[in-house]
A and B are shown apart, each in its own frame.
Chain A
Amino acid sequence: MCDFSEKLIAWLDGELPTDEASRVERHLKGCSECRSSLDAYKRMSAGFDAYCDAAVSFGAPCGVARWVPVISGAGAVAALVALLLAMPRTHVAPPTFHAPEAAAVAQSVAVAAQTPTSLVQEIPRRHARAPASVRDTNPVQAQNQNGYLLSEEPVIQIAISADEMFPPGAVPEGMHFVADLTIAADGSAERLQLRPRLAGFERRTTQP
């Protein structure tokens, strides 16, 4: 067997140093045995790939992975955050949170949540997508002399339907997430925290 046969597959994979690769290339021009072997190795590599593809097609019914909507949900939240950040400073951190502004935020949340990506559209949804809404506002906050908020507590709580972030069936019925947006002293959004909430559970515990 030719001495170069040990290097053919590594050469095929581009794993040889330049000088060694050049030597193999020069050798290949004059060695029909190595050319023939190289051809066989190429076909084996391609055959292995094709076999793997077929195995995946056979084993996987091409469902969309559940991770996709997590990223898409994150994208929607990111879009929401970007929208909030893009709003004039007075809208982000007002001393008090008035109803018209709440409606504006709710609208922006809905816009963000409905911003489709092609991946999202591929996912069949069992339930109608409930738009996210501003769930709670907390106008009573400590203010510094500039009117900015000092508290570590979230100023705005935004309820996002679990259906916006997870595929049907991935989370229990009635589950939603509350996004706590913490505003820094300079008025910028400092932290976003998503907390799962189970609506039914809360209702049961709060009933007299």
Chain B
Amino acid sequence: MSGEAAPLALPLSRLATGASEATTLYREMRKPLLRYLVCLGLSSDEAQDVVQDAFLILHRHLASGGSQENIRGWLFRVAHNQARNRQNRYDRNFTAASDGEMDAISHEATPERAVLEKEKFQQLGKAIRLLTEPERECLLLRAGGLRYREIGEVLGIATSTVNDTVDRAIKKLAEKCNV
């Protein structure tokens, strides 16, 4: 790289006042975003990359005077689109996870965190794999704390469609798991 590579220009007012806010936002949002991306099927490295990219894009968005409304939904949308651009490994975990991986995932769920017992947990994993892609995405974004309206914005679908999809997905899981 030469010495005159593209400079990173930072408006001082934003930088001075926004750095701690950005760090707080990052701490708060990193885990939900990673969880969403990994559950979409990205590897942990890819997910880390996407989260990093999403925050850099956010920085540029804010620095250029972009809207500060609903940053959480905005971040999920950017992360979602970035993940879509990495289609090669997209959707790996839930649709193509091996039984070994399923066991490992079930094993990871410690007693405090697991609501269901291990056997039921595996059953749940199989049921999740049987969901359609929009159903999984809706549940993942819902698990990330997004409102139906925000989920609709991320996925580009109507709020009423999100409502129906979440309703259907949860009922499917309950049915498959005999809960």
A binding-site residues for B, Cβ under 8 Å:
6, 9-10, 13, 15, 37, 40-41, 43-61, 63, 65-68, 70-72, 74-75, 77-78, 81-82, 117, 119, 172, 175, 178, 189-198, 201-202
CA distance A44 to B106 in the complex (A): 15
When the two chains form their complex, are residues A44 and B177 in contact, meaning their CB atoms are under 8 A apart?
yes
When the two chains form their complex, are residues B3 and A196 in contact, meaning their CB atoms are under 8 A apart?
yes
Name A67's closest neighbour in chain B (CB-CB).
Answer: B52
**In the complex, how many angstroms separate the beta carbon of B7 from the nearest chain A beta carbon?**
5
When the two chains form their complex, are residues A51 and B109 in contact, meaning their CB atoms are under 8 A apart?
yes
24 pairs, CB–CB < 8 Å, chain A vs chain B: A37-B174, A45-B143, A47-B120, A50-B116, A52-B38, A54-B114, A55-B108, A58-B101, A58-B104, A60-B34, A63-B44, A63-B48, A65-B30, A75-B19, A75-B20, A78-B16, A117-B23, A191-B12, A192-B9, A192-B15, A196-B5, A197-B3, A198-B1, A202-B3
When the two chains form their complex, are residues A201 and B106 in contact, meaning their CB atoms are under 8 A apart?
no
When the two chains form their complex, are residues A74 and B7 in contact, meaning their CB atoms are under 8 A apart?
no
Name B159's closest neighbour in chain A (CB-CB).
Answer: A15
CA distance A66 to B114 in the complex (A): 30
Q: Mark B86-106, 1 if CB is under 8 A from A, else 0.
A: 000000010000000100111
When the two chains form their complex, are residues B173 and A194 in contact, meaning their CB atoms are under 8 A apart?
no
Please tell me which one of the listed residues A66, A75, A193 contacts residue B23 in the complex, with CB atoms under 8 A apart: A75
CA distance A15 to B151 in the complex (A): 12
| New A-B pairs, 13, CB < 8 Å, besides A10-B167, A55-B35, A74-B19 | A10-B166, A40-B174, A50-B114, A52-B35, A53-B109, A57-B108, A59-B43, A60-B47, A67-B26, A74-B10, A78-B16, A119-B27, A193-B9
When the two chains form their complex, are residues B179 and A195 in contact, meaning their CB atoms are under 8 A apart?
no
Given A51-B105, A58-B108, A71-B23, decide whether A193 and B8 contact each other with a Cβ distance below 8 A.
Answer: yes
When the two chains form their complex, are residues B115 and A53 in contact, meaning their CB atoms are under 8 A apart?
no
CA distance A61 to B45 in the complex (A): 9
When the two chains form their complex, are residues A43 and B56 in contact, meaning their CB atoms are under 8 A apart?
no
**In the complex, how many angstroms separate the beta carbon of B119 from the nearest chain A beta carbon?**
12
**In the complex, how many angstroms separate the beta carbon of B26 from the nearest chain A beta carbon?**
6
Please tell me which one of the listed residues A6, A50, A74 contacts residue B15 in the complex, with CB atoms under 8 A apart: A74
For the complex of A and B, list the 9 residue pairs with the smallest distance between their C-beta atoms, beginning with the closest: A60-B44, A67-B52, A54-B108, A54-B109, A75-B19, A40-B179, A46-B115, A57-B108, A44-B173
CA distance A81 to B17 in the complex (A): 11
Given A59-B43, A197-B3, A198-B2, decide whether A77 and B15 contact each other with a Cβ distance below 8 A.
Answer: yes
When the two chains form their complex, are residues B51 and A67 in contact, meaning their CB atoms are under 8 A apart?
yes
Looking at A10, A45, A67, A195, the one whose CB has the most chain B CB atoms below 10 A away is A67
When the two chains form their complex, are residues A196 and B9 in contact, meaning their CB atoms are under 8 A apart?
no
When the two chains form their complex, are residues A15 and B163 in contact, meaning their CB atoms are under 8 A apart?
yes
When the two chains form their complex, are residues A78 and B19 in contact, meaning their CB atoms are under 8 A apart?
yes
Residues of A near B74 (CB, < 8 A) are: none
Residues of B near A46 (CB, < 8 A) are: 115
